[in-house]
A and B are shown apart, each in its own frame.
Chain A
Amino acid sequence: MSGAVLILGATSAIARGTAAALAQRGHRLYLAGRDVESLRRDAADLAIRHGVQVNFGIFNAEVHDTHAAFLQRVGDEMGELEGVVLAFGYLGSQQKAAGDFDETLTIINRNFVDAVSILNLCADHLEQRGRGFIAGIASVAGDRGRQSNYTYGAAKGALALYLQGLRNRLFPAGVHVLTVKPGFVDTAMTWGMPGLFLVATPAYVGERIVAAIERGRDVIYVPWFWRYIMLIIRSIPERLFKRLKL
């Protein structure tokens, strides 16, 4: 397995960690994102450190009618794709979203609608090929709605449900779909937040994601113990949960 992999939202820290783990294994990469200067730097870094071909280009997640042409361009440059990693997302602010529907829409669109638009196309591409993988970054926030980030959680939860359906659909075609639910990862998003514990590095998370792709896992929590943290959180009765300040 060392075909070309498309990374959507490639300049995020988790994407960078995942890209490094893929490049380490010899995969050619296409880095897609909004910030072309960052993409250029990331591409050079990955190509130099790992000696693989790394291309990059601008991807406008929010402009859905550009997605087909974008995927075409990626195909022209890289040939057939082995896999797709969907890593873009937007945490936003629940507080802001409460009084500002634009913020709410942005959170839902960036984390769910935009992702569905491009993944539908990727799914068709891989289904036709009859092999490959899709790895989507969801979140532990999608496992249960909490007052502090329920819009984000709802969008990520929807993405997880979408990926689940996609997995079901693509299984007969031999295409593997992985849902990744990161806990606390040491990124710009979590940096400086009070009360964080057991924070994982992006490099570790990237390594776990690629290991899960190789093993054909369906859903992973990274770090692994978040599976059990979320198991406990999900098992709290709603009558009690609604009283908690989470």
Chain B
Amino acid sequence: MNTLNKEIAGWGRYPVQRCELVRPERHADLLSDAPSLLARGQGRSYGDAALNEGRRVVLTERVNRFLAFDCDQGIVRAEAGATLAELLTLTVPRGWFPLVTPGTKHVSLGGCVAADVHGKNHHHDGAFSRSVRELELITADGRRLCCSAQENGEAFRATVGGMGLTGIIGEVELQLQPIESVYIRARHQGAANLEQVFALLQDTDNDARYSVAWLDLMSRGAGLGRGVVMNGDHAARDELSGGRRLTPLRLAPAKVRNIPFDMPGWLLNSLSIRAFNAQYFRREGGRSGSFLVDYDSFFYPLDTLDNWNRLYGKRGFVQYQCVVPTATALEAMQQLLRRLADSGHPAFLGVLKRMGAAGEGYLSFPMEGYTLAMDLPMKGVATLALLDAFDAIVLQHGGRVYLAKDARLAMDSFRAMYPQLDAWRRVRRELDPQGVFGSSLSRRLGMEGEA
């Protein structure tokens, strides 16, 4: 198979590393003979989770065939390189929607499994792995293990959230949820500060299937952590009117614009972000009552802007996402926001959401509590030092950092954040005794442990 030596990066475009790329066209060629291997789907993890510096990276984008779709039961099976976007095109017109979807549809199913991604409904429906009926794991010795919560359960629990380090995920079979329309009945509520945001997210009367809060990370003082809580539920057919009611499952493709090249690094600075946030807060927080939006606008607002990561310029950005248990979540988030404010570091796109109980994956990120994500333009040492300070706060409150977003966590912090690491290591060693599967992330965090 031809190889291509190329510098690649994750979605945050930091770090950039040279890897040896192969791109199999067929499922049978996913596994190749190399001392170190890592599968990479759409490269939508932010840091170095899908990098394998100086070693082989297997691009799975061409191994994306749908193998079965039962439209009575809502069960779909596909090669793991297929994306959620492709899945939606297929299943939505037949009235089926993924049970769990992250904030972009341009992710591979294999990537969703490997990072055990979550969505706005985590507090009701759990993480992606909850919707996985079965997956095929191709191990280093070429075996094809059929894994589910019941069959090869240990391999399953090590693979969901296992960051691609147990083998190559060849196929994924998903349980979908029925929908009556492509629309979401959404509701926005402005909240003047973080306490109010928390109060709205906690309020069970106010709850919806999907809920998330956008935070204005540049707001200070009494308005610290102000934001807009966004709730939504799938709209039933009889909630629609006119043409929408006649073809409730049809959606015209969204217009996609492109950021054609790197924006200058100064574009997203404290001033421009503050101005944008103030306007966004007024507009979105001021919407009253409920309104209908299509699922693309509700779940994937950034997908209409191709290559939006170029907005951050050549140096890229880091996304910091942590979760903290409910008991002290508000306090922890306030400390994080205050620390951010004190640093004067610009930060764009803050997202806060409630999470339900942890799932089964040994290294899965979600746990009962609150998760905060923020995008920070990469400014070198200043950024890295700030994030180390964040880690200390998160650790102090018994929380953890999301590996799919990470580019810089320290080994010790990682170990303290993931208490099931030893169980994961034991299963991984059984599945891959030679340690063939590895990534820049796994080496940076010492995930394999001492052999």
Q: Name A's B-contacting residues (CB within 8 A).
A: 11, 13, 35, 37-38, 41-42, 44-45, 48-49, 187-188, 191-193
Contact = CB atoms under 8 A, between A and B. Distances in A.
Contact of A41 (B4, B23, B67, B90): B67
B27 A41 contact: yes
Given A41-B65, A48-B69, 18 more contacts: A11-B26, A35-B28, A37-B27, A41-B27, A44-B66, A44-B68, A45-B65, A45-B67, A48-B67, A48-B90, A49-B89, A49-B90, A188-B23, A188-B24, A191-B4, A191-B23, A192-B2, A193-B2
A38 B90 contact: no
A37 B28 contact: yes
A35 B27 CA distance: 12
A187 B2 CA distance: 11
A49 B66 CA distance: 7
A187 B24 CA distance: 10
A105 B366 CA distance: 59
Interface string B74-90: 00000100000000011
Which of A35, A45, A191, A193 has its CB near the most chain B CB atoms (within 10 A)?
A191
B256 interface: no
Nearest to B63: A41
Contacts of B26: 11, 35, 38, 41
A48 B68 contact: yes
Nearest 4 A/B pairs, CB to CB: A45-B65, A192-B4, A192-B2, A48-B66
B67 A13 contact: no
A38 B67 CA distance: 11
Contact of A187 (B4, B25, B27): B25
A41 B29 CA distance: 13
B339 interface: no
A41 B64 CA distance: 10
Interface in B6-24: 21, 23-24
A49 B24 CA distance: 21
Nearest to B62: A13
Contacts of A11: 25-26
Interface residues of B, number: 20
Nearest to B65: A45
B79 A41 contact: yes
11 contacts: A11-B25, A13-B62, A35-B26, A41-B79, A44-B66, A44-B67, A48-B66, A48-B90, A188-B23, A191-B2, A192-B3
B311 to A, nearest CB: 26
Given A188-B2, A193-B2, A44 B25 contact: no
A38 B4 CA distance: 24
A11 B65 CA distance: 12
Given A191-B23, A192-B3, A38 B66 contact: no
Nearest to B21: A192
Which of B1, B66, B68, B89 has its CB near the most chain A CB atoms (within 10 A)?
B66
B88 to A, nearest CB: 12
Contacts of B28: 35, 37-38
A89 to B, nearest CB: 15
Nearest to B82: A45
Contacts of A13: 25, 62
A206 to B, nearest CB: 14
A13 B62 CA distance: 9
A44 B2 contact: no
A203 B185 CA distance: 36
